[in-house]
């Protein structure tokens, strides 16, 4: 018996007219009415837009809800699903779908939301994270980046730093502090791209990183995440915001994560636009674990005279302090390390 793949709710069995003959049995029913599978495009608290693996006539995406508490392990998050998640769902013709199962995730990108005291899910199952920043407007914030890098490394997601609005930057070398930080990230293994969504500068290189992959764009509000996507796919109807002149920061134009296709780079290319964040608090990382997820610190973990009890601040024989003195660890990264550890110790108390 050959059943057309994915035609779950409108069974088509070649050569047979279902279900009025003796083939009407449990196995046949189960096979024909098996749930559909799809990719979550966007997720709010209980409404999920899902793209079915097998296109349905007249419906490129399907609005789904979750029936009851069928998804396990999602309670700790603000929403149960994120763009990039793969799900199974049931759907009757002309009606909403009901999500029954979440497939295992290969990774998850989240942040801790201090206001709601919960984890905010931003993306799932991505091949690459793009941390977008600007060197000019909004102002460059290396500490924000260090936190995003930490989160990506803890989730096992490769990350590329994208410096947008290159058209506003007065050329390389004009700000030694910024240049030094960019060079240091590059030295420890994060590719750094300089692009402009406005002029198209550097966009070829960006495309070569995202082609045939699923990526997530992260960064402060106003750095130009949505503008970069618009530059890649001009016909997309995606909102681009303005900058708040008084504070020189974005206006939180994108309000929820959404997965968008970039057809020009292949059918297997997708990018998740996320809402801009004012601050980034790492999620599901304890203060004592920060050492293991900052990549130039990790090889030194446990090697201090006081082993893992070392606070890396004053102790003699501290390998981290030695690495800072010798330049293996940049002073500013060390400062980020201390601040993140400090903040995460506080988070433990409010979680
Ligand atoms: N000069 C210049 N302006 C840019 C560039 N890219 C984006 N902008 C401007 O920056 C502002 C913010 O752009 P968005 O794309 O909305 O920024 P966003 O990061 O998506 O912001 P949120 O959705 O709030 O997180 C808009 O006024 C854009 O026109 C660029 O390469 N050069
Ligand atoms: Mg946006």
Ligand nearest to the CA of 166: 1
Q: Where are the beta strands (DSSP E) in 72-166?
A: 86-91, 97-102, 108-113, 118-124, 128-134, 159-164
**Residue 218 pLDDT:** 97
The ligand that comes nearest to the alpha carbon of residue 228 is 1
- Spatial distance between the Cα atoms of 178 and 256, rounded to a whole number of angstroms: 30
Q: Which of the 8 DSSP states describes residue 264?
A: G
Ligand 2: distance of its center to the CA of 63 in Å? 23
Q: Where are the domains of the chain?
A: 35-102, 108-273, 287-350
Cα separation, 185 vs 192, whole angstroms: 8
Q: Containing H/E element for 186?
A: helix 176-187
Domain 287-350 has CATH 3.90.380: no
Ligand nearest to the CA of 276: 1
Token digits of residue 159? 């990350």
Residue 288 is predicted with a pLDDT of 94
Q: Which is nearest to 210 in space by CA: 249, 162, 171?
A: 162
What are the strands, taking DSSP E only, across 296-341? none
Task: Give the position, in ligand 1's atom list, of the atom nearest the Cα of 273.
Answer: 20
What is the Å distance from ligand 2's center to 276 Cα?
7
C-alpha 98 chain-centroid distance = 25
> Rounded to the nearest whole angstrom, what is the distance from the C-alpha of residue 227 to the centroid of ligand 1?
5
Which class is 108-273 in CATH?
Answer: alpha beta
**What pLDDT does 185 receive?**
98
Contact residues of ligand 1, CB 6 A cut-off = 164-165, 167-168, 196-198, 219, 221-227, 240-243, 250-254, 275-276
Q: Residue 10: its pLDDT value, please? A: 45
Q: How far apart are CA 247 and CA 222, in angstroms?
A: 11
Check if 35-102 and 287-350 are the same fold: no
Count of other CB atoms within 10 angstroms of residue 11: 17
Report phi then psi at 217, rounded to 5: -100, 125
- Residue by residue, pLDDT tens for the chain (351 residues) are 444 444 444 444 444 445 555 555 555 555 556 689 999 999 987 899 999 998 888 888 999 999 776 677 677 788 889 999 999 999 887 789 999 889 999 999 999 988 888 899 999 999 999 999 999 889 999 999 999 999 999 999 999 999 999 999 876 666 778 999 999 999 999 999 999 999 999 999 999 999 999 999 999 999 999 999 999 998 888 888 777 766 667 778 888 899 999 988 988 999 999 999 988 999 999 999 999 999 999 999 999 999 999 999 999 999 999 999 999 999 999 999 999 999 998 865 555
Query: Which atom of ligand 1 lies nearest, measured to the CA of 195?
Result: 31
The structure tokens listed for 350 are: 């409010």
236 Cα–ligand 2 center, Å: 13
Distance CA 214, CA 260 (A): 10
Q: Which residue's CA is minimally distant from atom 3 of ligand 1?
A: 165
pLDDT at 142: 95
pLDDT value of position 278:
87
Match 């779950």 to its residue by tokens. 8
Ligand 2: centre distance to CA 55 (Å) = 28
Say how far apart CA 285 and CA 348 lie, in whole Å.
10
> What is the pLDDT at residue 4?
43
pLDDT of the residue at 14? 47
Cα separations in angstroms, 132 against 7, 164, 166, 268: 40, 7, 12, 22
CATH architecture of 35-102: Beta Barrel (2.40)
Question: Cis (ω within 30 of 0) for the bond into 278?
Answer: no
């Amino acid at each position: 018996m050959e059943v057309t793949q994915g035609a779950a709710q409108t069974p088509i069995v070649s050569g047979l007219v279902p279900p009025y003959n003796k083939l009407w049995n449990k196995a046949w029913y189960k096979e024909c009415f098996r749930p559909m599978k799809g990719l979550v495009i966007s997720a709010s608290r209980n409404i999920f837009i899902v793209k079915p693996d097998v296109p349905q006539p007249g419906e490129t995406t399907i609005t789904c809800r979750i029936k009851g508490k069928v998804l396990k392990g999602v309670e700790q998050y603000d929403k149960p699903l994120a763009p990039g998640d793969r799900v199974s769902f049931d759907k009757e013709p002309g009606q909403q779908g009901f999500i029954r199962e979440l497939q295992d995730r290969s990774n998850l990108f989240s942040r801790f939301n201090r206001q709601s005291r919960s984890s905010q899910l931003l993306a799932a199952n991505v091949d690459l994270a793009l941390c977008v920043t600007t060197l000019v407007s909004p102002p460059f914030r290396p500490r924000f980046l260090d936190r995003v890098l930490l989160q990506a490394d803890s989730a096992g997601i490769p990350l590329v730093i994208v410096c947008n609005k290159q058209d506003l930057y007065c050329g390389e070398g004009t700000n030694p502090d910024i240049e030094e930080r960019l060079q240091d990230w590059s030295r420890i293994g994060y590719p750094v791209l300089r692009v402009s969504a406005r002029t198209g500068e550097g966009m070829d290189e960006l495309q070569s990183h995202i082609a045939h992959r699923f990526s997530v764009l992260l960064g402060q509000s106003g750095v130009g995440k949505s503008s970069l996507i618009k530059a890649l796919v001009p016909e997309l109807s995606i909102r681009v915001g303005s900058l708040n002149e008084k504070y020189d920061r974005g206006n939180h134009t994108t309000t929820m994560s959404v997965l968008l296709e970039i057809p020009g780079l292949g059918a297997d290319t997708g990018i998740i636009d996320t809402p801009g964040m004012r601050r980034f608090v790492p999620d599901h990382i304890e203060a004592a674990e920060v050492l293991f997820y900052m990549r130039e610190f990790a090889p030194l973990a446990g090697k201090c005279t006081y082993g893992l009890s070392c606070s890396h601040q004053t102790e003699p024989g501290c390998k981290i302090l030695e690495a800072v003195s010798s330049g293996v660890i940049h002073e500013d990264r060390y400062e980020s390390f201390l601040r993140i550890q400090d903040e995460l110790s506080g988070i433990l108390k409010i979680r």
